[in-house]
Structure 1
Amino acid sequence: MYRMLIVDDEPIIVNGLNEYFTKKALQDVEIVLAYSALEAISQLDSLKIDVVLSDICMPEMDGMELLDNIEARWPRCKVILLTGHDEFDYAHKALRSSYIVDYILKTEGMEKIGVAVNRALAMVKDELSVYHQKEWLQIELPKVMPQLQCQLLLDLLRRTDIELSRGLQSEFEALKLPFKADKAVMIILFSVESWGKYETAQERNLMLFAIGNAAEELLGAKTNVKFVAYDHSSLIGFVQSPDPLFENAQKLAEKTAKFTHGMLETVQQVCRDLFETPLSAAASMLMHPFTEVKREVQNLRLAILNGQAKGVERLSIVSSQEHNPKESSDQYSRLTGQYLLGQIKQSLLDESSKEWPQHFEKFRGLFPPDGPSDPFDRMIILHYFAETCLTCLEELGLKDQAVSQTDLPRILEFNNSVPWEQTLAFYQVIFEWMQHRRREYLSREESHLIGRIAYFIQNHLDSDLSLSRIAREVSLNPSYLSRWYKQTTGKGISDYIQEVKIEKSKELLQKTCYKVHEISEKLGFTDPHYFFRFFKKATGCTPQEFRNRTSAAKE
């Protein structure tokens, strides 16, 4: 949303310009009016203004003083100066100023003013665009790029298979990661076995960064590789074969795997000799698609935690088949289940999201009809279920209502002896109740908000009814309010204001003896001629003609 302030001490000019630009229907532009320089200062103090269309000669303050006030408040604001006669000093300053877009004689006509306003708005938009920030991006983005890359790679461990198949390559390219989403990848897990002299968290984080850099330097000679910190003492590495030129892709992958496995010993030696840090390593035997990265990381973690790679400088090449397939599958299901419960929570708390039933069905399909076979895995899942449910109720302010209106107290009884289908059915009902109450609340809030807007407009027809003023009244962003109101009611706020003013003017013309100019003032029109044109455009007759017709009809 952009704002243009029109300033002139002659109401006929302000209203004429307002009418002209209203007809032009400038996209995402709110027009604010000021009938004096002091009123303009008040608007500049209360609203962010992007473009000012101002008269130069006004009683309280000349154009140059107003320009100083504009620049002091909104340095990026663009100014178009209007004058009734040619003044060389003003024109000269306008030509030298960086924020004055044009200097126009009022006699040059509306079209030239319109062209200048379009140019000023284009300049504002360009300065706010990403393209204008190119120099900043070139300087600052490389500083945060490694962190963004790490965040993306760690996020891969939390995504579902469907999410991994959507747009992953474009994400790699955007963050300049050297990977191909459709190619297999090898996973490496490094674990620091003893920190020795590195005592503080800052020192250890710095050392993890150094280890990752060293590994990337050594492995990067023949692979595409990136290491990220996984937790306080371990790193995860992603390794891919380079693009094949004249080699068979399968043979290249095998050569890459052998090279990678062989270089792990060198990485350990560097860490021991340079950093005095003993490092254990576990790596996948083969390469796997990105959809299996999460499972492979868990396999390597199990290898580390179960002792296969535990100890000082142990080195293990782990096959996916080395672990009990059932245990690995159960753990994968449990971890994926925890992730899906997190998605359910996010969806329930997001007023615009309706995806929790899909996540719930995915969760249901993770386990057999009787639920997780391992009782300990089952207890962990039950814990996460309860935590998700109670956290959502707490954050939505629905816990007390849920206690009285649902079977929520039964949550205290759930354990491994309760049939799995009963557990799922219970939580599904609670989640559906939450969503229903959420929708009821939002519907009431929408009705209440529309009512507040209508009440404010109907009771302030003679004062400021700009979008910004109404937005302040209901504590919403003006741009959001404009979009929301039109989406909810099917009409814009300005259309509603016009409807209310027309109905009120008809009422006053029919039931009172107020003169037309008095009715004009009561409806917030500073210029009776503008009200005259406004009424005739809406009804097809003048205010006096309407009054005469209704009077004749009564007789």
Structure 2
Amino acid sequence: MFSLLIADDEALEREGLELMIRHILPDTFIFLHAENGRKAIQITEEQRPDFIFMDIKMPGIQGLEAVRQISAKFPSIKIVMITAHDYFSYAKEGLALGVRDYLLKPARREEVLDVLKLLIAEKEEEKRLRNEQLELQEKLSQLVPLAENELSLMLMLESVQEMELSQLAGLLNLRWYKGYAAVLSFARHSKKEWEDFQLVKREIYEAVKHFTKPNLSCLAGPIVGHQMALFIPLPPGRPGYSQRVISLDWGERIRGFVEERFQISLSVGIGSVREGWDGMSRSYREAVRVCSDDNELLSVRHYDDITQSSGQTIISLDDEKKLLDALLRHNKQETAERFGSLYTILEETESSSFATLRGEVIGLLLFLCRGIQSSDGAELITSLSALEDSETLRTRAMSWLDSFIDGLKEEREQSRSHVMQRALLYIDKKYKEDISMEQSAEYVNLSPHYFSKLFKQHAGETFIDYVTRLRINEAKRLIMEERLSLKEICYEVGYKDPNYFSRVFKKATSMTPSEYRQHIERQSPC
């Protein structure tokens, strides 16, 4: 039901209008009455009616003034003015205040019914739209955690695709320019400690989110293995060194919160401040590198502190790119040699901390994962995070590199096979026309030189030999049918010169077309 306030200084007018409406729309309204503008305002504030029928001329606060005050506070209430005179000035002012319609006294039954039907239809449409909006908000509220997890994983696994990332960031209303990553590494020194962590992992995840998000406005990633990542925006105007001190302080707060509440040891690694989403991925790698769960000196470590104290970064970006280049060239020997050299450097640099060495290797392989557009990052983290000795880590990492190269080779072969299948289908369709290798290469979007080499590798013969074989086989079939003359067959299979066709045919079959026809006729039992 709807509520309708009738405001009129004449009781008979109010009661007559109510009686009329009850008769034409029974069981539709709850009626409220006001004898003046002041009372109309008070009832509206207390009862919030859906509709108001307001008389313009009333003692005390006039109808238009009451409309002005009500509309200012409750713009969704639909108001209809009632007047005994058709005053244009009143109408103009009422429209400016948002009055929905006018009724002239004495209001006729049909006019009242039309106005009420219109108001009810509008109210129901507004209600429908509001319900749709609430349903959409509910769906979005369910999607937001999924989008946050997806965006975090993209940054963690370095699979930053600008289009997808922008869509996810837009859904989460994130407009970050600079930021850094922090990695929480939960202790797993013993089997029992690891089992205890698994039991409360979900609870820890939710607790950390509720502790950090209101204070840091951060993006919380899922727990992968024994680590959880936070991506934190940098407030504008804050210098780098000051931010480093603050981030370390927050690292200590988070560590204290987790250890006090769950009695689980925690170490925190913090990456340097970087620009853009790509920079956030690199900051995450830095945080993984310095996140040690068995470091005797510090439980909260900042990448900039580690690099400043050692005087240099552990592995240069140039070294990483050379390793990636060898990987992309599918050179297993060079890949193994370059990785081996880097692993030796890491072992010597982090000889006192296997956890840090493991973090360095995971970070390096994540960089390679992104470079080859692999989706194995999550499995890689889980696989290498479970290892506890250097030799197994080296062996497993090398195994991952081999699988990367094998995957790249297989992907290349599948891609080549797909391209050549398209090319062969095109040639089979067009060989009776004046087709060229250049046209076929353009059709599959390859350069003629590369297409020529790829075609011979795949088909086992050159492009010309393949097209010639198709044409000669078709010519032999048409000759056997005996429907067309040899000249017609020449044109039918794609040749423009019968003499040239005859020479090509003889080269392929050791007979001219006419000799081949005679040979076929001699073999015929008829």
TM-score normalised by L of structure 1? 0.35
Who wins on radius of gyration, i.e. which is larger? 2
Per the normalisation by structure 2, the TM-score is: 0.37
